[in-house]
């Protein structure tokens, strides 16, 4: 299996800590310690700042009328970049899979809306796997019969959680979430920039949701994995991949669990990785749930050199943990 293209899309409106503080959203000491673990210093939103200031987004339906971009539009932008980098057209794609935790419509599937906006008649459906969307898709397609997989599969994860944040009461959520979409083009037959050397993803034994969305979004920091467990999972992942395949620790790119950018920096030091080897998209863009791993990959795409390894370790969303080794060829 190859990743032949990757794309990301972010809205261009930034919400700084100062902006959020000006709304009166103050963090408790506990919340500040959580945010330190997450390492999020800024976030991007599809909502106009004026709208947030005047309404605090009490009614999420109003957010949808004011937002600059819908999840579908963000998803389309990410998909177009992934297709462009793959050097293919949407007509060459035989399957579109998508994930969104914040869809404007629950029917039809987000994949239908994205594929429809791209103007293609193609098999499409959603696979909603939480924050591990892109790792889940890679793992899943790696276990499919090759003859059942089309030449190219477009996988998109798109989320606009800031549109479901209450900026009047939910302080930590306002600081955590950002809007983004990511996309990858996978192919079982056409060699691309990254070969999937190994994929290992398992459900965690007990599940406690860190994020839930009904009307407003809820963030439950008490369900986050403790820092030592995140670090242990990362170290175990590296150990497993190193023993099985050998890792060039000084040269690889590490895409860790994007919910824990603060923890990642500490962990990288223990692993002997330099800060330049870390993909920390969430730190400046906010946490976009299932899209974040893909955006971290896409933001590094043009800088991954031939022979370089990419280690993706996913953990901490309460649902999945695992690791993927990619090799640039």
Partner 1 sequence: MLHILGMGTCHAETVITNTFLEDLDVGTNAQWIEEKIGIIERVSTLPLDYIRTTRNQDPRMALELASMTPTDMAVKAAEAALQQVGISAHDVGMVIVNSCAPAQTIPGEAVRIAERLGASAVAFDVVTACPAFALHIDFLRNYEESKLPEFILCISTAALTQHVNYNDRSDGAIWGDAAAAWIVSPAHKGKLEILDSFFTADPTRCGAVVVDTFGFFKQDGRAVRDFSVRQTVRLIKAIEDSHSIDWNRDIFIGHQANRTMLEQVTNNREIPPSNHWHNVTYLGNQAGAGSAATLCAHWEKIVPGQNIVVAVVGAGLSWGSIVMRAH
Q: Which residues pair with 6 in a beta bridge?
A: 184
Count Cβ atoms below 10 Å from residue 255 Cβ, excluding itself: 27
Burial class of 26 by CB neighbour count within 10 A (0 to 12, 13 to 18, 19+): exposed
DSSP assignment of 172-238 equals: HHHHHB--EEEEEEEESSS--SEEEEEEEEEE-SS---SEEESSSEEE-GGGSPPHHHHHHHHHHHH
222 and 173 Cβ atoms separated by less than 8 Å: no
Tokens for 251, please give them: 């040269």
- Residue 298 is inside which H or E element, if any? helix 292-300
CB of 61 to partner 1, least distance (A): 6
Query: CA angle at residue 49 from 286 to 79, to 5 degrees?
Result: 50
CB of 265 to partner 1, least distance (A): 27
CB of 47 to partner 1, least distance (A): 17
CB of 92 to partner 1, least distance (A): 16
- For partner 1, give the closer residue by CB, 92 or 299: 92
- Given the rule CB under 8 A, which residues bind partner 1? 60-61, 96, 100-109, 111-116, 119-130, 136, 143-145, 148-149, 202-203, 205, 207, 209, 211-215, 289, 319
- For partner 1, give the closer residue by CB, 117 or 249: 117
- For partner 1, give the closer residue by CB, 61 or 306: 61
- For partner 1, give the closer residue by CB, 143 or 276: 143
- For partner 1, give the closer residue by CB, 53 or 123: 123
CB of 276 to partner 1, least distance (A): 33
CB of 74 to partner 1, least distance (A): 16
- For partner 1, give the closer residue by CB, 300 or 314: 314
């Amino acid at each position: 299996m190859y990743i032949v293209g990757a794309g990301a899309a972010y809205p261009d409106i930034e919400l700084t800590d100062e902006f959020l503080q000006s709304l009166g959203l103050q963090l408790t000491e506990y919340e500040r310690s959580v945010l330190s673990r997450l390492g999020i210093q800024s976030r991007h939103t599809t909502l106009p700042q004026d709208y947030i200031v005047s309404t605090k987004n009490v009614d999420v339906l109003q957010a949808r009328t004011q937002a600059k971009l819908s999840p579908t539009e963000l998803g389309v932008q990410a998909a177009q970049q992934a297709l462009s980098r793959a050097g293919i057209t949407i007509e060459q794609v035989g399957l579109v899979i998508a994930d969104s935790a914040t869809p404007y419509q629950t029917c039809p599937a987000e994949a239908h809306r994205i594929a429809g906006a791209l103007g293609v008649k193609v098999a499409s459906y959603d696979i909603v796997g939480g924050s591990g969307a892109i790792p889940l898709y890679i793992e899943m397609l790696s276990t499919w019969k090759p003859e059942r997989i089309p030449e190219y599969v477009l996988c998109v994860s798109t989320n606009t959680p800031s549109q479901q944040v209450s900026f009047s009461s939910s302080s930590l959520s306002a600081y955590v979430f950002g809007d983004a979409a990511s996309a990858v083009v996978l192919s079982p037959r056409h060699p691309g920039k990254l070969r999937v050397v190994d994929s290992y993803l398992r459900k965690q034994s007990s599940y406690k949701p860190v994020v839930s969305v009904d009307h407003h979004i809820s963030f439950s920091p008490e369900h986050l994995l403790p820092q030592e467990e995140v670090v242990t999972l990362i170290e175990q992942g590296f150990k497993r991949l190193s023993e099985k395949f050998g890792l060039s620790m000084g040269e690889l790119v590490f895409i860790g669990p994007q919910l824990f950018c603060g923890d990642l920096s500490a962990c990288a030091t223990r692993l002997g990785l330099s800060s330049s080897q870390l993909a920390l998209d969430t730190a400046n863009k906010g946490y976009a749930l299932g899209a974040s791993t893909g955006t971290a990959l896409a933001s590094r795409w043009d800088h991954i050199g031939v022979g370089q390894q990419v280690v993706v370790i996913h953990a901490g969303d309460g649902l999945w943990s695992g690791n993927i080794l990619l090799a640039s060829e």
